[in-house]
């Protein structure tokens, strides 16, 4: 029998349960692996693409033990038990009996030998980066990842490791987000890997708000690993070649506009009330003004106008308003710069005072 405080189970379980498959192909994938070594308890979940472990220190050392339990059922049980409750685990060969006060639950137990383990692999890059730097990279690029695109290499995020610099890039064929951070590492050559969407989103959730604590990053031949005191996340890599993002950056744009971020965001949100499913918005540039126009299939129209510093020839462009808002929402500075050429060339959006992220949005036909 094991006696464990409710919070010592609940805390790591809540961290890993997002990885547990709801529609699992293998019964073991609905289970979490619970491992006790001395006074450390570790809970691990996997869906064969992402593996996540979270650890907590116990008040006292317990006998070493390893067993599996249905992850979501265990979480639901722990949530309903009172705070500071002591949970008893009675281990039988085919089931585990959970007792707390007058509550009793019999849960199925699968052999821990069935739980998938990561294979050993060569590590090609190993470095550390602060949590807030890593979160910056993910936060500024994650929204441009494709979803279920047949070009499978777009359904994830490119992570590029060069000497003293880490770069993340996401693109879905209609837009691109690019961010970079400088850190201390020396590499003989540039290493590029593609991390699947689920791995990126799980990592963002775990990082939460920015912190200065270091996180260790290891790139293997088939996986990427992120580890700190609270968790270890490993994700399979997408086997493919990400497009050359440097070629996708618009060059030689001859029109530059400085825009107030909040003002632009507000007019986009207001005219979006009348959007159709295609999410298209018309942006008209003329002498000293920017106009946002939305018209729908019911012959309704919304129009907003702001004052800008623009003196070139009048220009009209069409955009998916969601793409513009995603880029604007990733910015923090009060102003940003748009560089453009014509109605058929992608526009470059750069945050003022932040030279570590750029966004490209391709125009739509209007």
> Which mean pLDDT values do the consecutive 10-residue runs of the chain (366 residues) have?
93 94 85 95 96 94 93 94 92 92 92 92 92 94 94 95 94 96 85 96 85 88 94 96 93 91 96 89 94 92 94 93 96 94 93 91 89
* Burial (0-12, 13-18, 19+ Cβ within 10 Å), 232: middle
Structure tokens at 103: 């509550």
The confidence score (pLDDT) of residue 210 equals 54
Kindly report whether the global pTM for this prediction surpasses the value 0.95: no
CATH number of 123-247: 3.10.150.10
Pick left, alpha or beta for residue 101 (phi over 0 → left; psi -120 to 50 → alpha; otherwise beta): left
What is the CATH superfamily name and number for domain 249-361? Answer: DNA Polymerase III, subunit A, domain 2 (3.10.150.10)
Q: Where are the beta strands (DSSP E) in 109-152?
A: 123-130
In a 13 Å sphere around the CA of 205, the CA atoms on its Cβ side amount to 14
Ranges of CATH 3.10.150.10 domains, the chain: 2-114, 123-247, 249-361
CB of 78 within 8 A of CB of 9? yes
Note the CATH number of domain 2-114.
3.10.150.10
Q: How many CA atoms lie within 13 A of 119 on its CB side?
A: 8
What does the alpha-carbon distance between residue 336 and residue 347 come to, in Å, rounded to a whole number?
13
Residue 209 is predicted with a pLDDT of 59
């Amino acid at each position: 029998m094991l006696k464990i405080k409710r919070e010592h189970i609940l805390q790591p379980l809540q961290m890993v349960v997002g990885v547990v498959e709801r529609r699992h192909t293998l019964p073991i994938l609905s289970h979490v692996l619970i491992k006790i070594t001395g006074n450390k308890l570790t809970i691990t979940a996997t869906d064969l693409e992402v593996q996540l472990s979270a650890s907590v220190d116990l008040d006292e050392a317990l006998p070493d033990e390893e067993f599996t339990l249905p992850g979501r059922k265990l979480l639901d049980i722990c949530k309903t038990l009172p705070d500071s409750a002591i949970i008893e685990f009675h281990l039988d060969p085919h089931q585990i009996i959970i007792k707390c006060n007058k509550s009793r639950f019999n849960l199925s137990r699968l052999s821990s030998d069935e739980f998938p383990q990561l294979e050993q692999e060569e590590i090609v890059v190993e470095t550390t980066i602060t949590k807030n730097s890593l979160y910056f990279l993910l936060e500024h690029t994650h929204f441009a990842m494709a979803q279920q695109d047949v070009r499978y290499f777009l359904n994830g995020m490119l992570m590029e490791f060069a000497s003293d610099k880490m770069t993340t890039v996401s693109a879905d064929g209609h837009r691109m987000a690019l961010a970079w951070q400088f850190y201390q590492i020396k590499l003989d050559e540039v290493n590029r890997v593609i991390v699947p969407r689920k791995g990126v989103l799980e990592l963002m959730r775990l990082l939460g708000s920015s912190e200065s604590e270091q996180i260790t990053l290891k790139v293997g031949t088939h996986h990427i690993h992120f580890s700190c005191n609270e968790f270890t996340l490993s994700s399979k890599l997408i086997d493919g070649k990400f497009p050359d993002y440097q070629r996708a950056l618009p060059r030689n744009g001859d029109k530059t506009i400085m825009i107030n971020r909040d003002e632009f965001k507000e007019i986009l949100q207001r005219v979006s009330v009348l959007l159709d499913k295609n999410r298209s918005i018309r942006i008209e540039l003329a002498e000293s003004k920017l106009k946002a126009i939305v018209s729908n299939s019911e012959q309704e129209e919304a129009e907003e106008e702001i004052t800008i510093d623009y003196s070139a020839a009048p220009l009209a462009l069409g955009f998916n308003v969601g793409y513009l808002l995603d880029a604007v929402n990733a910015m923090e500075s009060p102003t940003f710069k748009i560089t453009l050429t014509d109605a058929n060339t992608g526009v470059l959006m750069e945050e003022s005072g932040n030279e570590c992220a750029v966004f490209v949005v391709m125009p739509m036909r209007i």
